[in-house]
Amino acid sequence: MKKRNVAWLVGVAAVLPLAYGMGATALIRTAGYRVTKRLPTGKGIALTFDDGPHPVYTVQLLDLLKRHGVKATFFVVGENVRAYPEVVKRMHKEGHQIGIHHDQHTSSWLLTPSQLKRELIETHRAIVDVTGEPPTLYRPPWGFMNAATLFVTRSYQIVLWSHVFQDWKVKGCEKGMLDGLRRVRDDGSIVLLHDDGSNPGADDLAPAHMLDKLSKYLEEVSHKNIEFVHVQDSLID
């Protein structure tokens, strides 16, 4: 084979995975098709929590939300649902919305279309087994999507976020999270937080710090008339 042809093939081989993952993510996010970053009603604040359930932190979070009468949306990891079904049962019983993250918190950039489908099916099944209610929302880990995401996830609404504060790091919680929360307006903002710190790049102890700041924030705004809403209630079909 000619040198020029080899170089061309190497180039294509290098670009294809980038287009499949990173390129598709940028395209879908920019186009905004079937992707929700802000509640279309333009009202309230949706608190959303990714990566749980965690046997300690999610329970503490549920206690905190209950104390303030706040309903939230949880994007759960399938294997954690199977490990801690009682926590998810409580989540559902207390009126929180439950959506799909992935079965094992894998990046969509590394998944073939059939592997992505498997992640959704397994998590969907785990949620239904515990709650009896089929999930309708999906949030990809790290917000990473691939060229097959829109097709494979077509029966779900993809939910991203309008606000995120690096709360997966202890430093992120301590440095800017509380001030960041104070700046969130109740105009349909979707806030992304994490109730598990065991994923790559996160700190194990970060959720304890997240809970501390969230508790202070909810205390501060308890006299204000802020409505904390489900993502689900706010989406227009």
Active site residues: 50, 194
Least distance CB 76 / Zn ion (angstroms) = 10
Which window, 46-54, 82-90, 162-170, 215-223, contacts Zn ion (CB under 5 A)?
46-54
CA 189 – CA 159 distance, rounded (Å): 12
Instruction: Name which of 68 and 107 has its Cβ closer to Zn ion.
Output: 107
Q: Is 119 in the site for Zn ion (CB under 5 A)?
A: no
Total chain residues near Zn ion (CB under 5 A): 3
The radius of gyration of the chain's CA atoms, rounded to the nearest angstrom, is 19
Residues 201-230 that bind Zn ion (CB under 5 A): none
Paired tokens of 3: 């040198």
CA 203 – CA 205 distance, rounded (Å): 5
According to CB under 5 A, which one of 21, 45, 50, 163 is a site residue for Zn ion?
A: 50
Least distance CB 3 / Zn ion (angstroms) = 44
Indicate if the alpha-carbon torsion angle 11, 30, 172, 200 is positive or negative.
negative
Instruction: Name which of 52 and 188 has its Cβ closer to Zn ion.
Output: 52
Instruction: Name which of 153 and 221 has its Cβ closer to Zn ion.
Output: 153
Amino acid at 144: F
Instruction: Name which of 132 and 200 has its Cβ closer to Zn ion.
Output: 200
Instruction: Name which of 132 and 201 has its Cβ closer to Zn ion.
Output: 201
Q: Are 135 and 156 in contact (CB under 8 A)?
A: yes
Is 95 in a helix, a strand, or coil?
A: coil
Beta bridge partners of 158: 35, 138
Least distance CB 51 / Zn ion (angstroms) = 4
Residues 120-159 that bind Zn ion (CB under 5 A): 141
CA 167 – CA 127 distance, rounded (Å): 25
Residues 165-204 that bind Zn ion (CB under 5 A): none
Least distance CB 206 / Zn ion (angstroms) = 12
Q: Is 51 in the site for Zn ion (CB under 5 A)?
A: yes
Beta bridge partners of 194: 50
Q: Are 95 and 133 in contact (CB under 8 A)?
A: no
Least distance CB 5 / Zn ion (angstroms) = 41
DSSP code per residue over 158-174: EE--SEE--TTSHHHII
* Positions in the binding site for Zn ion (CB under 5 A): 50-51, 141
